[in-house]
Amino acid sequence: MNEIFKPKNVAAWQLKKAQRPLVVSKAPYISPPKDHVTIKIIDVAVNPIDWILQDSPPPGFDIDYPAIFGRDAAGEILEVGDDVKDFRVGQRVIANTGSGGALYGGFQKYALVHKNAVAELPYSIPTSKGVVLPLGISTASAGLFQKDFLALPFPKEDFEDLGRVVIVWGGSSSVGSCAIQLAVAAGAEVITTASAKNFGYVKRLGAKQCFDYHDDDVEDQIVEALNGRTVAGAYHAVGADGAVESCARIVDRTKGKAIVVTVRGAPEKGVPDSVRVKQIAAANIFTNEIGPYIWRKFLPKALESGMLVPEPSALIVGEELRSVQAGLDAQKKGVSAQKVVITNIS
């Protein structure tokens, strides 16, 4: 892009650790390098990791300040790097942003993204709806398909019945909603937990049975439901303290693979010796064949056909980058079967 016509970028910056609110100010614009695209961002969504990084970055997150957070973006391709042949300028897309430093964060008007973390968005799906998916898709895929995790077959439209059951703890969450749909598309049967008010929602996504995690005997209920069936493992998408341990006790008492994959770390105690617990890192799918398959091969077609739908529903809390802090605060307070979205970024 000609230097004279480069757009003026603006971002919601985290200037230093634990600083709040975010500061909206100018940001650099860099033309995309090889295998990357620049996205003109229209909508962003907020994940728990965003406010966690603002308040107190957990161990393992080495952040260079000032920083730009944001993992979910939807918008239009503005510029493509060398060797990028499958995207065109003006194309509507969703993207898993935020990997690679400040220039890659989603909370700005123009963000760099690797092509393997971008999927075409059909015109039938508004950007404010499609934006709920990106990090949830990547996180769900990391736990379901990586070899050292649940290792399910890759999802596809003509999937075969595996004869295996996946337990998804927290099916109405953003990650849980994606995990249900992807596990079903891989041929697995899904049993999930949610609040009673969300039973209909998770069943619409493909879950065969749902159990209320508030019930004192929920573990016994699930074990009874799994009698005579083979488990492919448990996916812990969200849940209060003790949920990982519940998943571990369930897979320990059932036939099949004794593994729990979790968005949290492994508990120090309370897990049976026979059960493996593995923490999920969404970014890992872009170091192997899973990321390119899910984002470039499966997701565009699945969105077009309606096999995979953007859920949970968008909870729009404001417009423009000035509203991102309100989005972080809303997500921190908690939402149910919804995802916080900020619209009209550019």
Model-level pTM?
A: 0.96
pLDDT at residue 3, as a whole number = 59
> Per residue, what are the HEC states of 27-78?
ECCCCCCCCEEEEEEEEEECCHHHHHHHHCCCCCCCCCCCECCCCEEEEEEE
Express each pLDDT in 78-124 by its tens digit. Answer: 999 999 999 999 999 999 999 888 899 999 999 999 999 999 999 99
Q: Are 28 and 105 in contact (CB under 8 A)?
A: no
Distances (CA, A) of 137 to 87, 119, 195, 217, 293: 20, 11, 22, 31, 12
CA distance linking residue 259 with residue 265, whole number of Å: 14
For 141, the enclosing helix (H) or strand (E) is helix 134-145
pLDDT band at 328 (very low <50, low <70, confident <90, very high): very high
pLDDT at residue 1, as a whole number = 59
> Per residue, what are the HEC states of 219-234?
HHHHHHHCCCCEEEEE
pLDDT at residue 61, as a whole number = 83
CA distance linking residue 152 with residue 161, whole number of Å: 11
Q: Report the chain's terminal Cα–Cα distance, integer Å.
A: 19
Q: Which residues pair with 212 in a beta bridge?
A: 194
What are phi and psi for residue 131, nearest 5 degrees? -70, -15
Express each pLDDT in 2-37 by its tens digit. Answer: 555 789 999 999 999 999 999 999 999 999 999 999
Mean pLDDT of the chain: 96
Give all domains of the chain, ordered by start, each with its CATH number.
3-133+310-343 (3.90.180.10), 137-283 (3.40.50.720)
Mean pLDDT of 224-234: 98
